[in-house]
Structure formats: C-alpha cells, structure tokens
Structure 1
C-alpha cells in the first residue's frame, strides 16, 4: 500500500468532496450504444489552453440533483466476469477472451447507484476491447435502487477507505498473474468521474484517466502531479457540472501542464447512461464512447 500517496490524496479529497451534499453522483452506469453514430454537429472539443479561473462548487440542492436521475427498469445482459476480493470488499473483474498476461488494465469506478449490473456490463464491454477491466466497489457491497438510497449511500462513503480500495485495485491490476498490467487507466461517471480525477492526481503510474461529468478541481497546483493523459466528457446543459466549471478545469489543466482533451456535447447530466431514462442522449453517448475507445486504445492497448 502507498500510504504516503493516500495521505496526500485525502488532503485534497476533503476539500474535493466537501460539497457532496449538493454534488451527488448518478450518471452512466450502463454501457453506451455501439459506436458508429454520426458525430453531432454540436460536439465542440476544447483543448486550447486558457487562463485559469477561480474554483467552483456545486449549486444544486439535494432534491434538484436527485431529480436528474431516474433509473430505468431495464436489465443489463448477464455478467461474464467474476467477483474478486479487493481490500476487504468485492470487485468485479472481466478479462478479454483468448488473451493472456500481460494485459492493459483499467479501473472502472461506479456512479452513485453503486457496483450494479450496468457497471458490470460496461466492464465486460471494456474487456471485449482487450482490457483487463476491474470495477471497484466504493460502497462496500451496497447497491442503491432509488435516488434517496443513492444519496444516502454516497454520503456515507469513507474517503480513506475508498482511497485505499482504489490503490489496492490498481496494485491488483499490476500484480495479479492473469493481468500483470504495465499500462493502466481509470474511467468513471459522475461520482466515479470525480474519483477518477482524484486518483489520477495522486497515482503516478497511471497512464490514462477518463472523466464523465464528474465534479472537478480547478487549482493548477493540485493538478500538477497528474502524469496520466486526461479525457473529459461533459454536457453543455449539465447544471451540476456547468460549462463554466469545465472551462475552469480545462484552463487549470493547461496551466498545470497536463495533457488533456475535453469534449462537450449539447446534452444534459448523465447523458451517456442508457439506464437513465429521462436524460439519455443516444447520439452523443455513442460519439463519446467511440472517443473513449480510441483514447484508451492509443494510451493503453497500442503502447509497447
């Protein structure tokens, strides 16, 4: 365990998650549709460095944020991975068929519902692309069924324990004989996107981090330790992570010297989640998922 690194992450996490009562997470837990849909005309990548701005905080009430999320009753396909023990809790490991170690590894961090069947399905899809995909459980086995349950469970997360779980999961990908990853990445949605960024800030061995509309950090000094390349996916209609916050994040990454690409869509919060019946945007989700696949392939699968 890298306890020094955890201590450093906890210092920034205290500030980062202080606003979780207004910034809850409940986004893309189910896999996006198959790629191939045309790129929406309103997709506007933002990669130019701009001047940094002040930090931000969420402005939505709990009730307003919970209203953004309505989990549909649709079931995900049966899982094909397996449960593994990670730091006293259970993770979900999915391995690519017909491939042996060493494999590129990727951590999958759930949104506010927890490690449910939809996260397992998305993990399986990453495995189908050739990755050893490991979905972590930051809820200690709990899976929420309603926004009220999700809010309460999210607020009960022990940051120290969650950070230790992420470090242990990353170690698993590097050391497990079935994986032996020499290149690693992380992906998360909302709650998971926030943790994806935090882990990238303090894991120097990480190569790639995908952040789907997660709560952001805009202090360049906090972002400077990032060694991974960042891919950000955001919606311009998102009231929880509004465009001005994304602008500040992008600017701060530029000042910190972090390699990054930010894609924006004319879509709402949780737009990439097919199990999110009210705000799912199929075309934007398909385009974003294809960009994620290309990014991960370049950073993890094609590296020698």
Structure 2
C-alpha cells in the first residue's frame, strides 16, 4: 500500500517526529466567566507551575465564540489553509475539545480543536482562544509538565509557525519516562505508526494518547472515507497496548473536512498520513 502524500512548499525535515520526556502534573481547574479561553487556561497552567501539556473540555459555554475550519490554500505558499472566521450568535455549548498548551511570542498559547453546538447546529473546527470568552464556569482537566513544553517556531517545510516539543528544565530526574511525552509528527507520516515508533524509542509499551492535528484524507476501520486533504482532527480516545512485546496504537478520532462535515470513529493503522502537523501528549501506563 502506497501512503498518500502532500507536497509542502519547503524542504522536508530529515526528522519526521520529535518527542521530549517531561514531568507529569495532573490538572483540573476552572475557567472563569468573562475571561478569554486562552488567558483562563494560561492562568490555570501558571498556578500549577506548568509550561506545557494539554487540557480537555467536556462541556461548557462561551459567548462570544469564534472558530475556523480547514480549507484549501488560496496560493502556493501553503499546502492547506483556514476558512473564513465563523462567529455564531449567542451561547455556544462545547461538546468536547482538546487544547494543546505551549508558548508563542513569549506567552502561553493554545491550539484547540473541538466540537460545539450553536444556533447554526453542530460544528467542528479550530477554536480562536483569544477572542472566545467563557460564559459560565468551565472545569477542564488534563496533564501539564514543569520540565517540558511546546514552543511555536517557524517551520520551513510547511511555511507555518508550529509547536515543537522541547525540554525547558535540565532536571532529568523529573523528566523521566514515568512522566509524559510531549510530541509532534510531521507531514506524510502515518499517525498511528508514528506514535508506535515514538513509544518504542522511549521504551513505552502501554499509554494513553491525547492530541490534535490534521490528516491528509482519513480512512476509518468501518470503511468510511474522508476525501479532503485538509482536515482538523481531535483524538477522542487514543491507546497504546503491548502486542508481542511491541507498542500497538489505536486511535478513535473526530474529524471535520473542508465542507464542514464531521466524521468519527477508529482509523486504519498505516493509512492515515499527517497533513500539516499532529501534536501529542503521550501518558505511559503500567498495565
């Protein structure tokens, strides 16, 4: 089977994935009404002393709310792009979402994909955290790290500014494999096989996997196809288990295509290449 590929404007990086081991801090905090989502998450991370990680939304309301969806690029500068900005009227209820948390331009920054409901119906996309305002208290949970972080850096291959995992503390005792991995996968790599390879390199045989990103078309195990090169993806449930002593990953995802259609289910191992980037938090398990 030949894996689908997408051509980006810049030279391909020789390293197709990256991962950094960091300390793990379980997180649960409340986003307060009147705050922008990104500022509220930044406050929760600062209070926990964390520099990177992720949080999950399981419900919650925001007003105003802004988001974009995936789109074809209008020029040759990028392989994919974003839609116009959508701003539904009234309260928007978040069904579920995941925000990868890192740093950009010297301050905490979130990259958030999710599903929400408004007067316009059920929609999915990329939440614009600086202009989306918390309308009622929202409890979020996740995992942070005090020794590792994501940092937004220019990426020559895709011509985007993308999160890169990096160590921010030399305290390797805290950054042990008993913590978490902050990771990213580059374009044209199958996301499931890439996760398995990352786990193998770090001696992980079982794990929970969290994250968001984009895939170049999507193939589900039930035979459903998403024939859109630009997508936004949220891992609904990601697991790594040991099979014959080797890590074996399975991913159940939500995905939206350039037409705004939402799909969900388990994806085919070995047939789902990354489009632009995929950002991950991998939590080792002992079972």
TM-score in same-fold range (> 0.5): no
Name the one with the larger helix percent: 1
Larger % of strand: which? 2
Relative contact order (C-alpha < 8 Å, sep 6+): which is higher?
A: 1
With structure 1 as the length reference, what TM-score do the two structures score?
0.31
TM-score norm. by structure 2 comes to 0.32
